Structure formats: C-alpha cells, structure tokens
Amino acid sequence: MKAMNSLKSIWEHLCETPIVLLLSLLAIVPFVFPGLGNFFEFQFADISLSNAHGVVSCNWLHWSASHLFWDLLMFYIVGRLCELSDRKAFIAVLLLSAPFIPLAIQIACPELGSYRGLSGIDTALFALLGTCRLRESILKNDYQGVMVYGLLLAAMFLKILYETITHDVLFADKSTFTPVALAHLTGSLIGIGVASSPVIQAVLREQPGGTTLAVLREQPGGTVTKSVWPECQSNTTTS
C-alpha cells in the first residue's frame, strides 16, 4: 500500500508539469532509437522544405550520453520551475528559442553543418526564471532575493563569456561535439526579453474577455498593479 501511494505521489508530481515531462521524454527517444536521428537532424546546407521541421526538432538531438544527461537535467529542473510559475511565459520562450537558436547558429557558424542540444533552450529558461524572480524581489524590496537572482544571472553571463573565450563547456564532455557559446547567448537574450518586455508580458496576461491579469506599472499615489507571477497577484502599495 505504501509503495502504491509513493508511485501515485510520483505520478502526480510528474503530471504537474506535463509539457516539460513530454519534451524531456522526446529528447530520450532519438537517443534510444538512433535511426530517428536523420528525421530530427537540421542540416545547414539543406534549405529544402523537407528539412524545415529540423530547425526545431534538432534541439532534442544530442551528440553523446553526457551531452544528453546534462542538457536534460537542466531542462527538466529549470523547465519545471518555469512551467509551475508561469506556463504561458514558459511556452513563449520555447516557441521563440526552439527555432531561433538553430537559425542563429546556421547564420553565424555555417561551417558546423548542423546543430544539436537543449542547452540553448535551457539557458533561455534559466534567464526567464532568473529575470522574473529578480524583478519580483525588487518590487518586494527583498534585498536578499535581489542579490541571489542578480548573482545567478551574472554567473550565467560569466559562463557564456568563459565558453566564448575558451571554446569549452563546464559540464558535458565536449569530445564528441563543438561547443557553441552563441546558442547560450541567444537563449539568454530570448529569456530576458520575454521576462522584461512589457508588450510580451501584456499579451501573456491577456485573458478571454480582454482582461489583463498583471502588467507592472506604478500608479499615482505609489500603487503598484498586480505582479506578473502567481505568488504576487495581490495589489500592493509602496511608501
């Protein structure tokens, strides 16, 4: 009975974030069945319509078990936090980063021939989460939160700078692929852009009937409207 309850608890935990769960499983499929690699692949030299889906699907291909492990671990952890916090913003980052990161690599580094990996999307989701949490901390005068999330975002850019200078990676074994820091830089800009753009946030908050849940604006008298994140959706006032 205890085992059944544990399994039920695990299943409920997984079902809280169905999108990140399904996309995580999708990354495992072509690794278990390598024959699917040709279908998922995005070949830079092939600009035919038959290769169009590869612009997105190539993100779920990986060069090695180490590459898959680190990319997927980061994707599930950060993706789950993002989907729990704000599913619309999570989806927006996925929709933007999945095609634009491989296209950026194709334009800037055509000599690579192809692109694989979730690390660019991982970075986009990390940037989304960090930026939104940083803004929440600023609005709540949470100086400890400002320091924590500010340092995390700074560490992200320092990691990208390190990768750019050394052409190395910190975690995965790079012996089977060429590290591309541009993928992480592109992802970080997309994540910060979705979190910071008032236009995007207004669209994401737009509900049926034309009601906007939360756009951060200071009103006369020091009142701040509802926050964009679920845990801070009550009106607050500032002194």
pTM of the complete model: 0.81
Which domain range does residue 121 map to? 2-196
Query: Residue 230 in 3-state DSSP?
Result: helix
Domain assignment of residue 227, yes or no: no
CB 194 within 8 A of CB 93: yes
Domain assignment of residue 159, yes or no: yes
Burial of 25 per CB tally in 10 Å (0-12, 13-18, 19+):
exposed
pLDDT score at 13: 72
Domain assignment of residue 219, yes or no: no
β-pair type (223-224, 211-212)? unpaired
pLDDT score at 6: 73
The number of domains in the chain is: 1
Domain assignment of residue 221, yes or no: no
Looking at residue 105, which CATH number applies to its domain?
Answer: 1.20.1540.10
Averages of pLDDT over each 10 residues, the chain, 239 residues = 71 84 96 91 87 94 94 97 95 97 95 94 98 95 96 96 89 79 96 88 64 42 46 39
